Structure 1
Amino acid sequence: MKIYRVYGEALTPLHIGSGVVIEPYEYVISKDRLYKIDLAELLISLEDKEREIILGLLEKDILGLRRFIRERVDLSRYSQFSVGVSSKISHLYEEKLDELKNQLLIGLFIRSLNRPYIPGSSLKGALRTAVIFHLLSGKTEEKFSDRLEGKILGCLDNRGFLNPSSDPFRAIKIRDVSLEKESTVIEEIETFRNDGGRLKSMGMQMIKEVVFPKRSFETELLIDDDLFRKNRDMGRRLNIELFINACSDFYQQVIDGEMDYFKRTEIASNYERFLQLDKGEFLLRLGWGSGFNSTTVNLKMPRSKQIRTRRLVAGHLPLGWIKAKIAPI
């Protein structure tokens, strides 16, 4: 077993969700912080009369429930965790809390024991996409699929489908990254299109918990060489050099495409800055909002799909970019 240390730094906001979306009666925003309310604990601890009030509001008066939670719940006692929010979200909360049509739904970052973390599987998935793109010689008419992955990684079964038991990425493990306190913030994310050098909002607003740019992390990457030696059916052998070369190739082409999309806008300069890497460093892109080109081999299609919109935080920050470096332990 070979073990490597992975050093990472978020270059732009990063959101990896778990599917958990909270409504305004499940949280309170006060003094630029969101407090996630433990509704189960709250209901258990209330007197019968107050419990009946909350259950009645939950059925018939959501706005009343929002006000009840905000005005009468002890945040220090009934919050599961708290996280900072941007000033824009604080203002939006104050303005829209009493509007029934505005749900103010918030997508939380994936958590374990109420602490946000980056799954190792997300990092591994970003590496896998880069490797497949890198090893795919020339253009292809074939869609990004399990069959294409199996063909490139040398792990097709007798029927021509990807065989999980001989998939070389079975030998790769990346440990989850538990993030430090105050690593995330609640931000507004909008969808934009480039209208002749001017970014135009499509009016599609989302609110997500994201990792701050410049937040650093460490984890471990393990390569099980014994699995390759013992299993002759294993596909292409994987190593650190291949990962670095693949990421350098793939994400350079993704950035070239993004710079072309954002030409004549201020965001193009952000991408130029991403390419200023030290020796041994490489880029990864992962998480929600990374975009079609960053998660498929679309850029190697002879008639690649044209993606006409982009998601941005605060109107100018793309999502999901990470700078990384791998070193042996």
Structure 2
Amino acid sequence: MKLILDTVTPVHIGSGENIEPYEYVITDKFYKINLDKFIESLEEQDRNNFLEISAKNLVQARQFIKNKANLALIKEYTAKVSEEVRKTYNTKIIDPKSELSIQTFIKSMDKPFLPGSSVKGAIRTALLWYCAEKELQREYPHNIEQKLFKYKNPQDDPFRALKISDSGFIPEEKMQIYNIKTYTKRASLFNELGFNIFIEGTNAYFPDGKSEMVSFVHTLHLDDSLQKYNYLNIKLSPDIIIKACKEFYGALIANELEFFRGESAEGVYLELEKLKGLIKDKSNRFLLRIGWGSQFDGVTINLAMQNRDLKKSRKLINSKYPLGWILAEIK
């Protein structure tokens, strides 16, 4: 079977690595530079000046690179940037206290891709929630999973039967640098925390438009020989996956709509309403939420708890777009 995914809001699957401010330049777009090539490209006097400056003052080194770099010769790859990212970069590049590191997207052979494990994790969370007993009280996550699925060892995990391949590579022009800001809610008011987080993420329907959606094709396989019928409350099938995802991610959107209800977050609320509208029809399309920024409720079965944690912060792009939403279809 094929699993077709389209990005609705930007997705970031982190690699665990950062690009430091002296390793990139932002002008018309983002340029990841090869520092060794930059040094080699300099005339002897400039090279000596740069080595002396970089040993003493990283802020001046950033400015030196920005002013002297021949980007066509030393770039490793590029990505689009929003006007907000460009303005933040130009303002903060001269601030010694600023953190302008960029969290990188997971890559293979230096090219970004969507891991099947991330997609499987999103489906797994939906199935866990779908199977959760309503009277389930708060327990440690690993105990919850074992209670729901009645397995004792990892090798007995019924999700071994669900196999999802990695995607192909994401084209360079479909990647973008985003500025993520964190917002907290007190009473009905939202406050922006005063720091920026730069990430590499995919283009998406929101905020870029339908033509900028990134499409992924994965292979989805259910291995009947690995299904432990006596452990599971359900037998895995495409229909069960679709039903569980529709119900869980529908509940998640409803929870987010309630969180953002109010005049101070009207922009986010309206975008979530649009997101909800994508799955109003009776087709087999369903939503997933994957990657960094999916928030606690999106990666746990917290919504099934009677005494659930109520998280009071959210990460947003452009003050209104949540991360990680994907439209999916099994064919």
| TM-score calculated relative to the size of structure 1 | 0.87
Residue 223 (structure 2) aligns with: 224
Residue 145 (structure 1) aligns with: 141
Residue 175 (structure 1) aligns with: 165
**Secondary structure of 1:245 counterpart:** helix
Q: Which runs of 5+ in 2 are unaligned?
A: 206-212
Residue 166 (structure 1) aligns with: 156
1:122-137 aligned within 5 A: 122-137=118-133
Q: 1:28 is matched by which residue type in structure 2?
A: V
1:225, distance to aligned residue in structure 2 (A)? 2.2
Supply the distance in 2 between the matched residues of 1:40 and 1:145 (Cα, whole angstroms). Answer: 46
**Secondary structure of 1:263 counterpart:** coil
Residue 288 (structure 1) aligns with: 292
CA contact (8 A) 1:10 1:212 kept: yes
1:109, distance to aligned residue in structure 2 (A)? 1.6
CA contact (8 A) 1:81 1:114 kept: no
Supply the distance in 2 between the matched residues of 1:147 and 1:111 (Cα, whole angstroms). Answer: 33
Q: Taking every aligned residue pair, what percent have the same amino acid on both sides?
A: 33
State the Cα deviation string for residues 177-218 of structure 1 (Å, max 9, x = none): 222332121111111134555532122321112212221322
Supply the distance in 2 between the matched residues of 1:138 and 1:310 (Cα, whole angstroms). Answer: 26
> Does 1:273 pair with 2:268?
no
CA contact (8 A) 2:184 2:313 kept: yes
Choose between structure 1 and 2: higher helix proportion. 2
Supply the distance in 2 between the matched residues of 1:210 and 1:189 (Cα, whole angstroms). Answer: 11
- Cα pair distance change 1:46/1:293, threshold 3 Å: same
- Cα pair distance change 1:54/1:168, threshold 3 Å: farther
- Cα pair distance change 1:146/1:45, threshold 3 Å: farther
Supply the distance in 2 between the matched residues of 1:120 and 1:25 (Cα, whole angstroms). Answer: 33
Supply the distance in 1 between the matched residues of 2:41 and 2:100 (Cα, whole angstroms). Answer: 27
Residue 209 (structure 2) aligns with: none
> Does 1:6 pair with 2:7?
no
Choose between structure 1 and 2: higher strand proportion. 1
Query: RMSD of aligned C-alpha atoms?
Result: 2.3
Supply the distance in 1 between the matched residues of 2:186 and 2:199 (Cα, whole angstroms). Answer: 25
Supply the distance in 2 between the matched residues of 1:140 and 1:53 (Cα, whole angstroms). Answer: 65
> Does 1:23 pair with 2:20?
yes
Q: Quick one: which of 85, 92, 96 aligns to 2:88?
A: 92
Residue 196 (structure 2) aligns with: 205
Instruction: Give the aligned length.
Output: 315
| TM-score calculated relative to the size of structure 2 | 0.87
Q: Which runs of 5+ in 1 are unaligned?
A: 157-162
Residue 160 (structure 1) aligns with: none
Residue 60 (structure 2) aligns with: 64
CA contact (8 A) 2:138 2:306 kept: no
Residue 179 (structure 2) aligns with: 188
Residue 237 (structure 2) aligns with: 239
CA contact (8 A) 2:203 2:214 kept: no
